């Protein structure tokens, strides 16, 4: 006999006997108890109980012996026992056990997570506790030496030479000084508070943002440097100690998602507006706005109402009464933006994109187009102190600015295998507009010794367009704006550890010399966002950004000693550049230079990166000092214009950077 069968039978029989015994022993309500029965009846019943117990004990002993004998028999001598059909299991509902049986899902074929019934998931996966906080951020430490970034031209570079090289005047402390060496750090925290999954508050807080080590020591100045063990002249400032870059609320409604507060202003490749969230970024565009975004047929439709500049308010560090308010509506800069974009953002969209690339071997397009309108009627240009004085209000002048910006970007992806892909990225921008008064003086040219007309009055302005674009001397104050910019990024990999590409870009320029900083204001200079990095020296430091210039940038990236936890990466870039409009440069020459940059990085799971990189610029005469041309940078006792022609010399840099990402 099967042992398990006998044991189960034995256990069930014991339960049945015990239940019967309990039922028999328990007196019924309408029967007398044992103490109430006669003596003979009680003895007879006790005798029957004892005989019954002896019989049950004898039966158990017999079953036990049979089970032991069956266990001692060899397996081959066991008689075949036909298995009884399993009893029908009672259907168990998920409500009875608190979650859906996982066995029901185990027999099913794999399906994407989004296709599984949400009610089953809610029962299997524990509910998230609200409110909760999710953290991300970056801590970085950067050091570097920058040698000869002033190009030895006395003003054709934005970068100043070491101060000791030209002061004291006439007898500088070190006239041969050429190098700058400094170290800075920054901590960026980005906590998101989930009130519920549909209601959130996001923040971005920067601590010690780009503060140079030693420039803002927390030690206090003392007349006795030995007492505090610090050098004389220690400085302490709250500048840059804490900066709030983002603080906005988000709520998912039935038809759209609403955002309100201060947030990143970012679009496309970051050529025009950039979040500044990259490891090596320094600035970022942050704007106060209300934004409404919805997804329709796979396209993100977005509209924003921005507050880039509200002008004069009653807020003052010396005023403590009441809620501050905007004291004037006429000096505000207004901005509205609408955009249509096709891009993968959510987990489901990224899964579908990955499936299309790796499984279907399809070309995947992304991109969008954005229109932005900016306007400003007036501005306060003088008389502003620490607080607004209603008895002596600041000077208000008419500006009459109106600008239209159209920015389109596109991306094409092809990745049939993990180590074989093509990525093409392009952003193109065009801006046009008009500013009636680019000066800081009043307009409204007087006639016949009359006073200036009131150009703020729409009716007056409509009848006197010409007078509202000239000052009291009859000089034109109006400037038109026409700007153009383009950035191209490409990446290719074909079953090798090497990724190579060709980048390029162009930014429009005007006739105003020294990159639009001298002479009459020139609004035709388009300037790339300074956080859109092209190189290490020329555009990032010497000029400050890409403007009135074009560049071509072949590059390659190599990953080696790669494991699941870490790898080394080598980047090499060559940048050739020139001037778009020679009148807008620092000389009459058209070529700027040729730069070589390289960097070696140690990367640990994208959580920690240590990089050492260097670059050298071979400048051409487009960066030379030319006699009679305006200087880009004026320092010391130099005049505004170059007095002699000087050829630029070679600058170089070596930089070390560490990033902790979380």
DSSP structure class, residue 436: S
Give tens-digit pLDDT for 84-109.
Answer: 444 444 444 433 333 344 344 444 45
The answer as to whether 223 is a domain residue is: no
Give tens-digit pLDDT for 595-647.
Answer: 999 999 999 998 999 999 999 999 999 999 999 999 999 999 899 999 999 99
Q: Summarize the confidence of residues 127-142 as an average pLDDT.
A: 90
Confidence of residue 206 (pLDDT cuts 50, 70, 90): very high
Give tens-digit pLDDT for 29-52.
Answer: 444 443 344 444 444 555 555 666
Calculated CA dihedral for residues 353, 359, 362, 367, nearest 10 degrees? 10
Find tokens 């000791």 and name the residue.
164
Q: What's the pLDDT at 113?
A: 54
Q: What's the pLDDT at 220?
A: 44
Q: What's the pLDDT at 329?
A: 87
The answer as to whether 29 is a domain residue is: yes
The answer as to whether 110 is a domain residue is: no
Q: Which of 3-7, 123-127, 150-154 has the lowest mean pLDDT?
A: 3-7
- Cβ of 8: how many Cβ atoms within 10 Å? 11
Give tens-digit pLDDT for 334-383.
Answer: 999 999 999 999 999 999 999 999 999 999 999 999 999 999 999 988 76
Q: Which residues contact 352 (CB under 8 A, 6 or more apart)?
A: 344
Contact between 401 and 376 under an 8 Å Cβ cutoff? The reply is yes
**Which residues is 303 bridged to in the sheet?**
292, 338
The answer as to whether 14 is a domain residue is: yes
Closest CA to 245 of 205, 218, 211, 274: 205
Q: What's the pLDDT at 101?
A: 40
Q: Summarize the confidence of residues 72-76 as an average pLDDT.
A: 49
pLDDT score of 567 more than 50: yes
pLDDT score of 79 more than 70: no
Confidence of residue 384 (pLDDT cuts 50, 70, 90): low
The answer as to whether 343 is a domain residue is: no
DSSP H or E stretch at residue 215: none
Q: What's the pLDDT at 482?
A: 95
Q: What's the pLDDT at 315?
A: 73
Distance CA 41, CA 32 (A): 12
Domain count, the chain: 1
The winner for highest mean pLDDT among 130-134, 211-215, 309-313, 553-557 is 553-557
Looking at every residue in the chain, the average pLDDT score rounds to 82
pLDDT score of 262 more than 90: yes
Q: What's the pLDDT at 479?
A: 92
The answer as to whether 72 is a domain residue is: yes
The answer as to whether 57 is a domain residue is: yes
Q: What's the pLDDT at 448?
A: 72
Q: Summarize the confidence of residues 456-484 as an average pLDDT.
A: 90
pLDDT score of 59 more than 80: no
Q: What's the pLDDT at 174?
A: 93
Distance CA 234, CA 253 (A): 53
Between 17 and 72, the more confident residue is 72
Give tens-digit pLDDT for 135-158.
Answer: 999 999 999 999 999 999 999 999
The backbone region for 151, taken as left when phi is positive above 0, alpha when psi lies in -120 to 50, beta otherwise, is left
Confidence of residue 387 (pLDDT cuts 50, 70, 90): low
Q: Summarize the confidence of residues 213-234 as an average pLDDT.
A: 49
The answer as to whether 64 is a domain residue is: yes
Which residue range forms the structural domain that includes residue 27? 3-77
Q: What's the pLDDT at 301?
A: 97
Counting beta carbons within 10 angstroms of the beta carbon of residue 442, is it exposed (0 to 12), middle (13 to 18) or buried (19 or more)?
Answer: middle
Counting residues of the chain whose pLDDT is more than 90, the rounded percentage is 60
Distance CA 632, CA 639 (A): 11
pLDDT score of 217 more than 90: no
DSSP H or E stretch at residue 402: strand 395-417
Q: What's the pLDDT at 383?
A: 64
């Amino acid at each position: 006999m099967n042992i398990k069968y006998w044991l189960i039978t034995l256990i069930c029989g014991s339960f049945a006997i015990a239940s019967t015994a309990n039922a028999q022993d328990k007196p019924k309500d309408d029967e007398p108890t044992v103490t109430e029965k006669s003596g003979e009846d009680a003895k007879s019943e006790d005798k029957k109980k004892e005989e019954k117990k002896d019989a049950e004990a004898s039966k158990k002993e017999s079953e036990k012996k049979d089970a032991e004998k069956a266990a001692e028999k060899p397996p081959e001598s066991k008689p075949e026992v036909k298995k009884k059909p399993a009893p029908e299991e009672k259907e168990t509902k998920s409500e009875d056990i608190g979650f859906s049986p996982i066995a029901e899902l185990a027999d099913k074929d794999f399906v994407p997570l989004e296709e599984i019934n949400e009610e089953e998931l809610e029962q299997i996966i524990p509910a998230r506790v609200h409110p909760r906080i999710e953290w991300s951020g970056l801590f970085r430490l950067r050091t570097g030496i920058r040698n000869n970034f002033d190009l030895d031209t006395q003003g054709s570079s934005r970068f100043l030479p070491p101060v000791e090289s030209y002061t004291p005047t006439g007898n500088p402390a070190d006239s041969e000084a050429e190098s700058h060496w400094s170290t800075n750090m920054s901590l960026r925290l980005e906590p998101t508070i989930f009130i519920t999954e549909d209601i959130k508050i996001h923040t971005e807080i920067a601590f010690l943002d780009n503060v140079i080590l030693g420039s803002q020591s927390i030690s206090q100045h003392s007349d006795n440097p030995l007492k505090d063990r610090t050098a004389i002249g220690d400085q302490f400032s709250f500048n840059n100690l804490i900066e709030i870059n983002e603080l906005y609320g988000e709520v998912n409604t039935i038809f759209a998602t609403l955002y309100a507060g201060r947030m990143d202003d970012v679009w496309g490749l970051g050529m025009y507006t950039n979040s500044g969230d990259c490891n090596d970024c320094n600035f970022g565009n942050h704007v106060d706005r209300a934004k409404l975004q919805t997804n329709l047929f796979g396209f993100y439709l977005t509209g924003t109402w921005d507050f880039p500049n509200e002008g004069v308010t009653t807020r003052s560090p010396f005023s403590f009464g009441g809620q501050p308010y905007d004291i004037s509506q006429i000096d505000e800069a207004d901005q509205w933006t609408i955009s249509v974009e096709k891009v993968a953002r959510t987990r489901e969209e990224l899964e579908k994109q990955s499936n299309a690339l790796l499984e279907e071997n399809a070309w995947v397009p992304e991109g969008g187009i954005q229109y932005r309108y900016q306007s400003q009627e007036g501005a306060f240009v003088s008389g502003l102190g620490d607080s607004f004085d209603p008895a002596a209000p600041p000077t208000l002048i008419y500006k009459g600015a109106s600008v239209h910006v159209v920015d389109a970007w596109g991306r094409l992806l092809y990745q049939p295998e993990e180590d074989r892909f093509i990525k093409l990225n392009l952003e193109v921008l065009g801006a046009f507009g008009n500013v009636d008064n680019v000066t800081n003086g009043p307009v409204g040219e007087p006639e016949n010794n009359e006073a200036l007309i009131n150009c703020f009055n729409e009716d007056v302005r409509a009848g006197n367009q010409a007078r509202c674009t000239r000052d009291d001397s009859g000089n034109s104050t109006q400037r038109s704006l026409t700007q153009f910019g383009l950035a191209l990024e490409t990446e290719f990999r074909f079953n090798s550890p090497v990724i190579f590409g060709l980048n390029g870009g162009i930014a429009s320029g005007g006739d105003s010399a020294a990159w639009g900083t001298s002479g009459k204001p020139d609004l035709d200079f388009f300037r790339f966002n300074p956080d859109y990095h092209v190189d290490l020296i020329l555009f990032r430091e010497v000029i400050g950004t890409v403007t009135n210039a074009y560049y071509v940038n072949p590059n390659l990236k190599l990953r080696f000693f790669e494991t699941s936890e870490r790898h080394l990466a080598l980047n090499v870039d060559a940048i050739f550049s020139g001037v778009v409009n020679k009148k807008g440069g620092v000389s009459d020459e058209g070529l700027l230079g040729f730069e070589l940059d390289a960097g070696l990085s140690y990367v640990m799971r994208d959580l920690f990166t240590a990089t050492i990189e260097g670059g050298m610029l071979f400048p051409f005469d487009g960066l030379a000092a030319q006699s009679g041309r305006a200087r880009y940078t004026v320092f010391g006792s130099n005049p505004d214009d170059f007095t002699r022609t000087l050829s630029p010399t070679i600058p170089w840099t070596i930089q070390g950077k560490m990033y902790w990402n979380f």
